[in-house]
Amino acid sequence: MNGFVVVDKPAGMTSHDVIARLRRALGERRIGHAGTLDPAATGILLIGVGRGTRLLRFLEAHEKEYEADAILGLRTSTQDAEGDVTGEADASAVTEQDVRALLPRFTGEIDQVPPMVSAVKIGGERLYKKARRGEEVERAPRRVTVHALDLMGFEPGPRARASLRVVCSRGTYIRTLAADLGDALGVGAHLTALRRTRVGPYALDKAVPLDAVTSEQLAPMAEALSGYPRHDVGVDGARALIQGKPLPAAGLDGPYAVFGPDGLVAMAEDRGEELRSLCVVA
């Protein structure tokens, strides 16, 4: 049982909960996901099954699209509705135009400080574990890319609400984006809802509800790599890659998918004059 499936994750479950459910449903231990979603978040979670788990790091590189709702005027300890309120302000003076005028500041390459509830490791420990003990530690900013940031809706008031569409790179924290936007407006903000609507070429119209996933929904591993360049080799080349041997460089940029006569063989990259496999899936 090898392949991948696009799951529409329900609210109230961790990404690990989804994996545990699928292991029972499919009777397969080798299952993993690309790109964690918080328990309160919903939407697309790419799942690798069997040898498909070897491709997850390449799926994580895809850009992601989200729909997010934020409340202005309330800061929280977790930058979302699960945390304690740490600051309040009247957002009545904030207008839709005020929000729109600030969006370009958060578009393109920006620096984000990872939230304390993230899975980033500092001192060998995940930040969220430190946060559970009430600890706050210094975090270095990380460079991410926001390809698009659009205001989809706005409701004025003391607790104004903003609905955002975000297209971003891997590693972008939408909760931090909302909180930083609120700070720039002078009133603070926190995230109240988050839905991942696309990962690379996979949108919600291709997603399967978690309870409906069966082995029949598994897509071939090759479909997961549709956004990567393709390089074809013959029988001898495929055998060499499976045995861990190099081939002549393909002359392609970045990681690419290598196909033999029987289908997908490996992900590989050029290293000087040689083609070297990054992972073999055949």
Catalytic residues: 38
Residue with tokens 């696309």: 198
CB 271 within 8 A of CB 244: no
**DSSP class of residue 113?**
P
In the chain, where does DSSP find H-type helix?
Answer: 15-26, 56-59, 96-102, 127-132, 174-185, 235-242
Identity of residue 53: T
Identity of residue 164: L
Report which secondary-structure segment, H or E, holds 5. strand 3-9
Candidates 264, 221, 252; CA nearest to 56 is 221
- Tokens at residue 181, please? 């936007």
Residue with tokens 């060499």: 240
Q: Three-state SS for 216?
A: helix
Q: Three-state SS for 212?
A: helix
CB 152 within 8 A of CB 65: no
